């Protein structure tokens, strides 16, 4: 009962003090508000960036597909790692693709995947360093590609080496702004190629556009770029096979291990890449960003805490006589301490709540105005409110302790 009375009394006194100094209390809140809203906004941006990267990766790679090759990796390899893989891993050749189709084609759909960077032309316009890709007509089924205009090239066009292509959004809008590029001809390495389809806009991933691409039938690609020694292969389980991604990958791995005579117990002498690998790499990058950015942003909370501490010290000095009177009337050290600590915590918690609301409004505004996929993650809400509360306790402890230690006689002498 005594504790309840002490807490309610301290709460009333703290609220009365805050009300009595509205401007000072508001300025004290500002530091915490800015700190919390900054943490929430940065957290929402990181979370939104992660969602955008995963969606872009899913569009570019596929959600149920996988890739095998001599070297395929979600991240950058060191020179040493790359050399080790080149020494140990086998080159994947077109003959290996044919072997996979013959041995596992009833269950798995395959497509080669070769890539070069080269300039493309339309009349007098040039697009530098476009991504030229050599693939099979099966790629849309493997990667869930969406063609927004026209179609993908057919198996017959691939077999007969028809000079046709599917282009990315950047190619279509750069060369044919405001009109459809279907049926138009562009030059790829001197060869006239007819556009039959346009892929949906994918956006950027890793700071590089994914929409400056030109998909060629693998037979046409090999005519233009015949020197590649190794290829990558996309694979996906056929819908009628009823296999999971991992089961389909295991079938491909077993076939390649048999093809390359990999000894039992030895690791695969080829690489493979799955959507989970890409997601893991994205999460790792965002984790590094969060570790660097969030603490820097949280410094503003520390600054807010220093402001709270300074204001509370001023408050203790101003109310020295009041403290002396309370102690003379029987108030204990703990009562004085709780009073000032309560005031500090209220300021910090209210500031944290307002900062959380402001962060949510800024996030919603950025999402509406800029189309950003920003979303507030629960962990950042907990972090912001938790830290603001801790800031209140820590910042108020020293002033409260100082007030509690005042000698009542000395305090009563203060004017």
Round the CA-based radius of gyration of the chain to a whole number and report it: 32
Q: Which of 46-50, 214-218, 310-314, 402-406 has the lowest mean pLDDT?
A: 402-406
The whole-number average pLDDT for the span 131-149 is 92
In the three-class reduction of DSSP (H, G, I as helix; E, B as strand; rest coil), residue 148 is classed as strand
Same domain, 136 and 168: yes
Q: Over 90: is that where the pLDDT of 151 sits? A: yes
Express as a percent the part of the chain with pLDDT over 90.
Answer: 37
Same domain, 193 and 158: yes
Which of 269, 294, 311 is the last residue before a domain boundary?
269
Per DSSP, the residues of 342-390 read HHHHHHHHHHHHHHHHHHHHHHHHHHHHH-------HHHHHHHHHHHHH
Q: Which of 132-136, 294-298, 344-348 has the lowest mean pLDDT?
A: 294-298
Same domain, 137 and 185: yes
Contact 142, 62 (CB under 8 A): yes
Same domain, 138 and 265: yes
Where residue 243 falls among pLDDT bands split at 50, 70, 90?
Answer: very high
Same domain, 136 and 260: yes
Instruction: State residue 120's pLDDT score.
Output: 95
Same domain, 252 and 297: no
Minimal CA–CA distance to 312: which of 397, 411, 405?
397
Same domain, 248 and 101: yes
* 81 occurs within a structural domain: no
Q: Where are the alpha helices (DSSP H) in 155-244?
A: 155-159, 169-175, 218-224
Where residue 399 falls among pLDDT bands split at 50, 70, 90?
Answer: low
Residue that wins the pLDDT comparison between 351 and 186: 186
Instruction: State residue 283's pLDDT score.
Output: 76
Contact 6, 334 (CB under 8 A): yes
Express as a percent the part of the chain with pLDDT over 70.
Answer: 80
Q: C-alpha distances in angstroms, 125 versus 164, 170, 208, 334?
A: 19, 13, 21, 80
The two three-digit tokens of residue 382, written as one number: 């907990």
Same domain, 299 and 263: no
Same domain, 242 and 332: no
Max mean pLDDT among 87-91, 102-106, 296-300 falls in: 102-106
Query: CA triplet 49, 233, 206: central angle to 5 degrees?
Result: 20
* 78 occurs within a structural domain: no
Instruction: State residue 27's pLDDT score.
Output: 75
Q: Over 70: is that where the pLDDT of 159 sits? A: yes
Same domain, 301 and 392: yes
Which of 269, 293, 322 is the last residue before a domain boundary?
269
Tokens 């590089």 correspond to 208
* 67 occurs within a structural domain: no
Residue that wins the pLDDT comparison between 86 and 393: 86
Same domain, 375 and 257: no
Where residue 257 falls among pLDDT bands split at 50, 70, 90?
Answer: very high
* 357 occurs within a structural domain: yes
Same domain, 302 and 252: no
Query: CA triplet 243, 248, 254: central angle to 5 degrees?
Result: 135
pLDDT tens string 308-320: 777 766 766 666 6
Q: Over 90: is that where the pLDDT of 306 sits? A: no
* 108 occurs within a structural domain: yes
Instruction: State residue 278's pLDDT score.
Output: 75
Which of 235, 269, 303 is the last residue before a domain boundary?
269
Where residue 194 falls among pLDDT bands split at 50, 70, 90?
Answer: very high
Number of domains in the chain: 2
* 398 occurs within a structural domain: yes
* 19 occurs within a structural domain: yes
CA distance 193 to 190: 9
Q: Over 80: is that where the pLDDT of 249 sits? A: yes
* 251 occurs within a structural domain: yes
Segments forming the whole domain that contains residue 373: 2-56+280-413
């Amino acid at each position: 009962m005594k504790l309840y009375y002490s807490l309610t009394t301290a709460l009333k006194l703290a609220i009365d003090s805050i009300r009595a100094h509205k401007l000072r209390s508001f300025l004290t809140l500002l530091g915490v508000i800015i700190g919390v809203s900054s943490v929430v906004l940065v957290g929402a941006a990181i979370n939104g960036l992660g969602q955008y990267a995963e969606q872009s990766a899913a569009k570019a790679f596929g959600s149920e597909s996988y890739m095998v090759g001599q070297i395929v990796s979600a991240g950058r390899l060191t020179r040493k790692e790359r050399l080790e893989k080149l020494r140990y891993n086998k080159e994947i050749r077109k003959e290996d693709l044919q072997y996979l189709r013959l041995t596992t084609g009833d269950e798995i759909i395959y497509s080669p995947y070769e890539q070069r960077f080269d300039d493309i032309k339309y009349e007098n316009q040039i697009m530098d360093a476009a991504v030229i890709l050599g693939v099979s007509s099966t790629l849309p089924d493997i990667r869930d590609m969406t063609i927004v205009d026209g179609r993908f090239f057919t198996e017959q066009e691939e077999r007969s080496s028809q000079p046709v292509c599917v282009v990315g959004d950047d190619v279509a809008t750069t060369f044919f702004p405001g009109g459809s590029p279907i049926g138009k001809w562009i030059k790829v390495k001197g060869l006239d190629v007819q556009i039959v389809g346009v892929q949906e806009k994918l956006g950027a991933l890793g700071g590089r556009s994914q929409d400056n691409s030109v998909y060629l039938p693998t037979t046409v690609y090999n005519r233009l770029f015949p020197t590649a020694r190794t290829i990558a292969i996309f694979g996906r389980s056929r819908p009628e096979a009823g296999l999971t991604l991992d089961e389909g990958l295991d079938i491909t791995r077993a076939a390649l291990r048999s093809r390359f005579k990999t000894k039992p117990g030895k690791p695969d002498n080829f690489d493979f890449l799955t959507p989970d690998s890409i997601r893991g790499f994205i999460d790792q990058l965002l984790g590094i960003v969060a570790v660097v950015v969030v603490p820097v942003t949280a410094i503003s909370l520390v600054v807010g805490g220093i402001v709270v501490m300074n204001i509370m010290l001023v408050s203790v000095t101003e109310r020295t006589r009041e403290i002396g009177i309370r102690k003379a009337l029987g108030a204990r050290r703990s009562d004085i301490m709780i009073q000032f600590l309560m005031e500090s915590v209220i300021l910090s918690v209210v500031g944290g709540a307002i900062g959380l609301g402001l962060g949510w409004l800024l996030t919603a505004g950025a999402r509406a105005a800029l189309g950003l996929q920003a979303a507030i993650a629960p962990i950042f809400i907990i972090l912001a409110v938790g830290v603001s509360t801790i800031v209140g306790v820590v910042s108020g402890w020293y002033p409260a302790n100082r007030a509690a230690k005042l000698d009542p006689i000395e305090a009563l002498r203060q004017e």
